[in-house]
Amino acid sequence: MNPNQVIKAIKSYSTFLITSHISLEGDALGSELALASLLRKLGKTAYIVNSGKTPSNYSFLPGVKKISRRFSNRAHQAVFIIDCSDRGRAGRIAGLIDARKPVINIDHHIGNKNFGKINWVDPAASSTGEMIYRLFRFTRTKLDKKDALNIYTAILTDTGSFRHPNTTSNTLYICSRLLKFGINPAEIYARIYENNSVRDAIYVAKIISRLSFAADNRIAWIKIKRPEFEEVKGKPELLDKILDFAKSIKIVKVVLIFCQVDKRFIKLNLRSKSPIDVQKIASSFGGGGHRLASGCTIKGSLKEAEQMVLRQVKRALKTRYKIPACHSKYKAGEASD
């Protein structure tokens, strides 16, 4: 798929709103900022409004201070919803957009619902940032150091610092081009990932100490009750650290974190190592994401969600690995591997 329709839309309108998903992170923010810059360089008016607040570790991104939370349908003719697999992921803003305004959907998630009037979806791209880079090339728009910093941040975060399988030679080629603008990878990494408070570190350590294991240690999971989840709200990077730590255990194939959002709902984060496709499991609960990293919201108690999901994950594992019928369930500290 190519961005021809997107380029046509850019030519047809002069004012654009750009928005992205709730739980903002590097790809959403970096891509929004680079896209806004591209549109302005093409003589257009562009502004960014998000449903959520910008996490503090991204406050260094050029242009981020101008991102607003105020929305007006009079201020734009067309809307970019980017890095969102479905319209609902855009949160509050999705509900405010005038239905008559054309929506341009730019995304790289496999399960994208093609909800826009124009849809440019490329699951082969590591990140939406990589697609925005290509949009600069397609429109022959010159990048500057600020654009390079925003796009590099988008790619860095969505590839898990170039660890995930979506890191391709093209991804690294683009990053090599971006570094020529004089951005500093070590500094960017430190700004985003070496930014924890002592309190956050203690929180992560406390949660990790409660890891549970099942299916011969191939599943690792943790439940976080509501009061504890309140502490971590708005800091998805802390959950990522917990997920990464559990995934670093050699035998573990699937990691699950169940967070109690309120009395009725559980938010579930899933991570896996190939070949287990957790996106399939997340989408069976109405969620989405990627094959190896996905999420969903489940109605029910922590215990109910745990039982339902573990059953599905065990089934998915069974088709792939020989797991003894009578496997034991371990708690952290008891597991042998």
CA 79 – CA 102 distance, rounded (Å): 6
Binding site for Mn ion (CB under 5 A): 27, 83, 127-128, 158
Give the nearest residue (CB) to Mn ion: 27
Residue 127 or 212 having the CB closest to Mn ion: 127
Residue with tokens 């919201």: 297
Tell the smallest beta-carbon distance from residue 328 to Mn ion (Å): 38
Residue 27 or residue 306: which is nearer to Mn ion going by CB? 27
Q: Which is nearer to Mn ion, 203 or 287 (CB)?
A: 287
Q: Of 89 and 241, which has the nearer Cβ to Mn ion?
A: 89
Rounded CA gap, 271 and 244, in Å? 9
* Shortest separation between residue 112's beta carbon and Mn ion, angstroms: 11
Phi and psi torsions of 92, nearest 5°: -55, -40
Nearer to Mn ion, 106 or 207 (CB): 106
Count Cβ atoms below 10 Å from residue 290 Cβ, excluding itself: 24
- Shortest Cβ distance from residue 101 to Mn ion (Å)? 23
We find the least distance from the C-beta atom of residue 26 to Mn ion, in angstroms, to be 8
Task: Name the minimum Å distance from CB 127 to Mn ion.
Answer: 5
Q: Which residue has the tokens 């255990």?
A: 249
What is the rounded (10 degree) CA torsion for 71, 28, 293, 187?
-140
Looking at the chain, list the stretches that DSSP marks H as alpha helix, in order from N- to C-terminal side.
4-12, 26-41, 92-96, 128-138, 145-158, 169-179, 185-193, 198-208, 226-232, 236-247, 278-284, 302-318
- Residue 21 Cβ, how far from Mn ion at the closest point, in Å? 8
Sign of torsion, CA 162 167 168 173? negative
Nearer to Mn ion, 167 or 212 (CB): 167
